[in-house]
Chain A
Amino acid sequence: MLTPEQVESKLDRILLKVQKPGRYVGGELNSIRKDWDKAQTRVAFVFPDIYDIGVSNVGLKILYDQVNQREDALAERAYAPWLDMEELMREHGIPLYTLESKHPLACFDLIGFTLPYETLYTNTLNILNLSGIPVRSTERDESHPIIIAGGHSTTNPEPMHAFIDAFAIGEGEEVIHDIIDAIQAFKEKRKDERSDLFPLSSFDARIALLRSLAAISGVYVPRFYETTYMDDGTVAYTEPIIPDMPKTVNKRIVAKLPPPPTKFIVPNIEVVHNRVSVEIMRGCTRGCRFCQAGMITRPVRERSVQEVVDAADAAVRASGFEELALMSLSSSDYTYINDLVDAISKRFEGRKLTVSLPSLRIESVSVDLMEKLKQHRSGGFTLAPEAASERMRRIINKFISDEDIINTTREIYSRGWTTVKLYFMIGHPSETLEDVQAIVDLCRRVIEEGRKVAGWKVKLHAGVSTFVPKPQTPFQWVACDTKDSVLEKQALLKRQLLKDKSIKLSWTKPEDTLLEAWLSRGDRRMSEVIYSAWKNGAKFDAWDEGKKQEAWLPAFEEHGLDPAFYTHRQRRTDEVFPWEHITAAVRKNFLFQDFRMSLEGQIRVDCRLNCFACGILPTFANLRRENPGEGWKCPDVKTPARKIDIELPVVGD
């Protein structure tokens, strides 16, 4: 294996031949370089997309800090090299290495991939291969690093089951320590001549270590499970094949959010997000039925205003960044949002800082909040109605009236913003062309009303993406809209909106949507499709430069699978899902009931006010008891946990 010095000298010969060589050299302020020889466990965290996107990922930043705070471990980073760099690395025999010490990835004890979205899967295989590590989990022995993965898309880990040794389901702050501890304990024991681990072969030792990881709550080791299929190709069941494995792997959560990171890595080149991000709240109580994040990150836990402001201040000082993002799934729902905005504008007055507050509710109060932050109005004001007809907004459980949208956008224009961005989705269940026409009508009304208060300069940007049904949501049963239908809907939008000079329209390519849809609800057989697609040249699936249909469709064919089975099939009500043995603690029958309500256009209100018994409280009853009070936003439920299952308050219309 190459030494870091050898890697560096080889790099010097190729770096000037690639675009943006600064992606591949590290040396950033706030990156952490620890003594390699003093660390007992060495961890490499990988964001499997390019540096420009990955370096600002907050999830990996949290884990990087967690591990580097340990005396006995170190964490370094790696990202996917862009196509030009990969080609040169392969030509010159340079394996993927970490930016901090330039050690090849294969030298590490543990490699952690974050998989926030499905289009990173082929890159993950490519990175393993570029690192000289066998791509398949079963081909790796004790000499190879343990490969773990986490992130939202691993809520259904099955499509990647053949390549990842262990998945960390749910939140990573605590489980990463458990995993490192288990690896250390195993290695100690393996060295001890008296232990039963001592005589094991390299392959058996690997299995023994994976068994000890599987004993950790929230860790799923797919090779210890097997899926049986029905004749129609759906899953019959997935079961453990060795003793002592949990039948269902429950996600991990932290009862209280730990202090947010404040030493953000400051890239030495331009990247996508140059900003400090402070998570003000985790989880969401809104219950939008299409939203996977809202379902799988429950319960809502908030940080105090003081903690957010102090962390933001420390992070801005330590980074010099010009932008601060206050992150959450729904800013308006943060209990002390007014106090927070006041405190932030006071603390940062005159410091040339742009503050972003994403996901604001569609109401005039949101305009007040943004006004208080005294932001440049050139950036536009973003709102996400997601659907344009009231019927459709009932179906997706994001209920806002047309009047609220018109009043809010009018208010935005009248207070000096010239651009409003509205995010919509097409392809919602039971959507018709009338619902799509409603997007056109709503956009036109917004512009007309805007002109009344602010004249002809008003602009609207409609971002229309296509809905992909996600696992662990009330829409996990529904069929994905077909390509022809999506094209027809997009044609309608383009025909009517593109001629208006005040309106800008953007949309997602149907091919990209399909790819995401195949992967998100795939079963174990998808592993082989991913492998073949990667062999056919698929990588960077989220990029226009990546090979799409020409790599993927032959891969499906090679394994006798029909892509439409995964995308365009309405699931049976009693269907066993490929991810049935993995749970985000929101029960399947809660999701199903919510799905049924959507069919009847019934909405379910914010669950801060009224517990609908999604399953979080009984699953995490002990954590909740240990952390009573303010931070955790589930309402107090008096009935004993078991009884909650029976009473399901329903709010209809």
Chain B
Amino acid sequence: MRVRITFSKQGALRYTGHLDLHRLWERAMRRAALPITYSQGFHPQPKISLAAALPLGFASRGEMLDVRLNEEIPVENISNRLKDNLPADIQIIHVESVDERAPALQTQVLSATYEVHLTEPIDGAELTRKVEALMMSESVIRERRGKSYDLRPLIEMLSVVTEANGNVWLRMTLAARDGATGRPEEVLNALDIAPEYTRVERTRLVFQK
């Protein structure tokens, strides 16, 4: 069966990268004695696929993975067995069974939504002005790993949230397609905010319908 798991990744686990997370899930499923399907061949690989890599240092409350199991197991049962076998900073949000023939999870991701909280006080009005200016621009040329690219079309939504107590934070939706992925820290740099003074959380992955 093919199982889709939605989970959060917080705290210390923010510093576990994509490949290590893959390994972590394989071990968690081994601990939970779930019958994972392995690929054929000399070095069998577990059939676990994570929807979209989460940059190191970011938290998330909407990560997803697909795993194939050799047996049909009720989803509540899967969820219960996994719960006791995960590190504290990963929590299962939802488990569902999906059609075996559905397209691969990674190919279906369109964009991702992030919340950015600031750990240093900031002038809200000034920030709003910068956000507006950024959103009004036709293009925002930036350089990453020696290649220049246009950040602007990758920003689908960017807004400043001002809470009743005056707290200011950002919400953004960035493209997350193959070859067209917007990175929150690039947006922050474009707004003159140092990423080390922020806490970024991915809240949701948006999929093709």
Contact = CB atoms under 8 A, between A and B. Distances in A.
The answer on A and B forming one complex is yes
Nearest to A321: B27
Given A22-B16, A27-B11, A268-B24, A318 B31 contact: yes
Nearest to B19: A270
B15 A9 contact: no
Contact of A16 (B23, B29, B85, B196): B196
Interface in B20-38: 20, 23-24, 26-31, 33, 38
A16 B199 contact: no
Contacts of B149: none
B125 interface: no
Contacts of A266: 27, 87
A270 B23 contact: yes
B27 A12 contact: no
Nearest to B11: A27
Contacts of A268: 12-13, 15-16, 20, 24, 87
B124 interface: no
Contacts of A546: none
Nearest to A99: B12
B86 interface: yes
B87 A29 contact: yes
B189 interface: no
Interface residues of B, number: 32
Interface hub of B11, B14, B119 (most chain A Cβ within 10 A): B14
B44 to A, nearest CB: 7
A141 interface: no
Contacts of A26: 12
A28 B12 CA distance: 8
A269 B17 contact: yes
B56 interface: yes
A462 B170 CA distance: 59
A28 B15 contact: no
**Interface residue SS majority, chain B:** helix
B15 A21 contact: yes
A321 B24 CA distance: 10
A244 B196 CA distance: 57
Contacts of B28: 320
A319 interface: yes
Contacts of B12: 22, 25-28, 268
A15 interface: yes
Contacts of B20: 22, 268-270
A352 interface: yes
Nearest to B33: A317
A22 B38 CA distance: 27
A638 interface: no
B53 interface: no
Interface in A311-332: 317-322
A501 interface: no
Contacts of A352: 38, 44
B35 to A, nearest CB: 11
A25 B12 CA distance: 5
A499 interface: no
A352 B37 CA distance: 12
Given A266-B27, A270-B23, A27 B57 contact: no
Contact of B31 (A21, A27, A270, A317): A317
B85 to A, nearest CB: 8
A13 interface: yes
B88 interface: yes
A367 to B, nearest CB: 22
Interface hub of A27, A266, A318 (most chain B Cβ within 10 A): A27
Interface string B47-61: 000000000110000
B87 A27 contact: yes
Contacts of A24: 15
Nearest to B30: A320
Given A16-B57, A269-B20, A25 B26 contact: no
15 contacts: A9-B119, A16-B56, A21-B15, A21-B56, A21-B57, A22-B12, A22-B20, A24-B15, A266-B87, A268-B16, A269-B17, A270-B19, A320-B30, A321-B27, A322-B30
Interface of A: 9, 12-17, 21-22, 24-29, 266, 268-270, 317-322, 352
The 4 closest A-B pairs by CB, nearest first: A27-B12, A320-B27, A320-B30, A25-B12
